[in-house]
A and B are shown apart, each in its own frame.
Chain A
Amino acid sequence: MEARERVDRLELPFSRFGVDNYGISKKHLALWFTVLGALYKDYFRVKAHGTEHVPRRGRAMLIGNHSGGIAVDGAMVIASMFFELDPPRLAQGMVEKFLNRVPMASLWFNRMGQLTGLPEHAFRMLEDDRLLMVFPEGARGTAKLYWERSSLVHFGTGFMRLALQTKTPIIPFGFIGGGDAFPTVFNAVELGRLVGAPYVPISAYLLPVPLPVQLAVHYGEPMRFDGTGNEDDKVIESKVELVKARIADLIEHGERVRAGFLSLPGRP
């Protein structure tokens, strides 16, 4: 089975129990990537471009846009790193804090290396030469409504300070189609409060299931920045703007490819 075989090729320090020092479990990864593989290849038919820009080893940060009300974007980026790279890499995202309180979600996210979104976790992963996935738009990004799907909302600056502190290259990416797969028309904040989430996105067709829309992710060339991470906000924000602009370019390019204006394999 492909997922199991690729899990065996992940370059992570698994113990004899098949668990690494963060609790990432081969057994859980194999199950999860089997399901994710079907979604990635057959349901969403994801096209990943520019994966050669992602370093095969060593610390790196995947920085991109949120696309779609539920975490389809994150899951498909993780799948692309697992199925397209050779050897495969495990992209580790930063999970919303409330999910660690939810039974099963807590267990599975932890076993898959998707740790709670804390600066300490991000720092530790990078110092450990892992591949970190960050959506600087945060929950504001997943809250984008259908008609806002190709826009970028405010970017947090934490990722840039972290990149400078740990001397980590940033791999920008643009994610295309998530907003079509899950067209949010309304965010139910009150309902979210009931279940402990920031909000619950409501799709145009009410069901919390994404549509089988073709998705794409475009990775750009690594961006490296100099600094200590202790600079003034203005300095950091100017660097963040460069990343944001690059991601906007990748989205625009991706939209054009998708609309058939550019022929593949084109890259900006």
Chain B
Amino acid sequence: MIPSRMKVILPGISGLLARIVAKKLLARGHQVVGIDARPWPEAPEGIVVHTVDIRKRGAEDIFRTLRPDAVIHMATVTHLRQKSEDRYRINLGGTRAVWDHCHTYGVPHAIFVGRHTYYGAAPDSPLYHTEEEPPSGATTFPELADLVAADLYAGSALWRYPEITTTVLRICYTLGPSHHGTLAGFLNAPRVPMVLGFDPLFQFMHEDDAAEAIVVALEKKARGVFNVSGPPPLPLSVIAHAAGKKTLPVPEVLFRLVLGRFGLPGLPQGAIAHIKYPIVIDSMRFKKTIGFRYEYDAEATIDAFTHPSTT
């Protein structure tokens, strides 16, 4: 069955993953209206981008006049781009605004695009996380607290606004030609630093598969919380070597000192747990409910990252 044409508002459209989502929606015949404080100058014809903050009146006006069929909320930011206070306001205030507008203007479906780092990395946590697990990430990694809160807040819409089909997606790291994202940022450095004696599994999927998962979640109108992942996870060292990078194992005591120096990527201190212990999600529910299948295996995904021009 070909899903009918939908009017979709996409807050955070100027992000790299959101742009791929927008193009996919357009190609499938949906009407896409973006909201982002950052511009998208080369946006394809047919995609309207409003340069406005999601929390401002101008954004609400778009909901009122367009009366969309769905909203895909991708206007959350990570510690890599914003200082903590702004980030808190953007992530929580923005999420609240999206669901409040959906409620006020009768939007039937709203999707929160979250991250698998919600579960946190800890030595005593299970290797595979299911959707029922509470977040443990914020305790060791305070920079994640606002994203965890936004995820839970969006999830609370399931009972606060039962008339809205709310979908919360917790997507693993993405990798691909854009070289964008947490894992890509880590692999972009000439040497990949590792904590000596640790080599955690990393779970990643091609950014095109991640965007496809979001589009399919929209078209299937999946209600609830879903982990989204692609191929099975791999140890960080294996990923780095497959991407043609050298690893640099550093004892933990020194690790904190060398980050951001000597050509190594900079990371907040809390992120060290993420380089010692894995965050791996069980996405069986998404696969079963939605019937989602990833297209790119681990090798093809790493290849798309290392050779962006050939893919």
Chain A interface residues (CB < 8 Å from chain B): 15-17, 19-23, 25, 97, 100-107, 110-111, 115-116, 118, 120-121, 124
Q: Does A17 contact B298, Cβ atoms closer than 8 Å?
A: yes
A103 and B124 contact, Cβ closer than 8 Å, known pairs A19-B238, A20-B232, A25-B235: no
The smallest C-beta distance from B227 to any residue of chain A, in angstroms, reads: 14
Find out whether the CB atom of B235 lies under 8 angstroms from the CB atom of A23.
yes
**A106: which B residues are within 8 A, CB to CB?**
123, 197-198, 276
The smallest C-beta distance from B11 to any residue of chain A, in angstroms, reads 35
A107 interface neighbour in B123, B128, B198, B299, Cβ under 8 Å: B198
17 additional contacts, CB 8 Å, given A23-B127, A97-B123, A118-B124? A15-B232, A15-B234, A17-B238, A17-B242, A17-B299, A23-B201, A100-B123, A103-B195, A103-B196, A103-B251, A110-B199, A115-B127, A116-B123, A116-B124, A120-B126, A124-B126, A124-B127
Chain B residues proximal to chain A, CB less than 8 Å: 123-124, 126-128, 195-199, 201, 231-235, 238, 242, 251-252, 276-278, 298-299
Chain A contacts for B127, CB-based, 8 A: 22-23, 115-116, 121, 124
CB distance from A35 to the nearest CB of B (A): 18
Question: Which 4 A-B pairs give the minimum distances between C-beta atoms?
Answer: A103-B197, A120-B126, A21-B232, A104-B197
Inter-chain contacts of B197 with A (CB < 8 A): 102-107
If over half of B's interface residues share one DSSP class (helix, strand or loop), that class is named, otherwise mixed; here it is loop
> Given A15-B298, A17-B242, A101 and B128 touching (CB < 8 A)?
no
Contacts of A102 in B (CB 8 A): 197
A16: B residues at CB distance < 8 A: 298-299
Whether the pair A19, B196 counts as a contact (CB closer than 8 A) is no
Bound Cα distance A111, B234 (Å): 11
- In the assembled complex, the CB of A186 is this many whole angstroms from the nearest CB of chain B, namely 28
Query: In whole Å, how far is A138's beta carbon from the nearest beta carbon of chain B?
Result: 16
CA distance A15 to B233 in the complex (A): 10
Question: In this complex, what residue of A is CB-closest to B241?
Answer: A17
Given that A17-B242, A118-B126, A120-B128 are known contacts, is A103 also in contact with B232, CB under 8 Å in the complex? no
Q: Contact partner of B233 among A23, A105, A121, A124, CB < 8 A? A: A23
Q: CA separation between A262 and B234, bound complex, in Å?
A: 50
Which of B124, B201, B252 is A97 in contact with, Cβ under 8 Å? Answer: B124
User: Which B residues lie within 8 Å of A104 (CB)?
Assistant: 197
Q: Which residues of B contact A25 (CB under 8 A)?
A: 235
Contacts of B126 in A (CB 8 A): 118, 120-121, 124
Give the nearest-CB partner of B238 in chain A: A17
> What is the CB-to-nearest-CB distance from A107 to chain B, in angstroms, rounded to a whole number?
5
Closest chain-A Cβ to B20's Cβ sits at a distance in Å of: 26
For residue A116, which residues in chain B have a CB less than 8 angstroms away from its CB?
Answer: 123-124, 127
Contact partners of A124 in chain B: CB under 8 A: 126-128
Choose one: B124, B235, B251; the contact of A19 (CB below 8 Å): B235
Which of B198, B235, B298 is the one whose CB lies under 8 Å from A103? B198
A22 — which chain B residues lie within 8 A by C-beta? 127
Residue of B nearest to A20 (CB): B232
In whole angstroms, what is the CA distance A118 to B129 when docked? 13
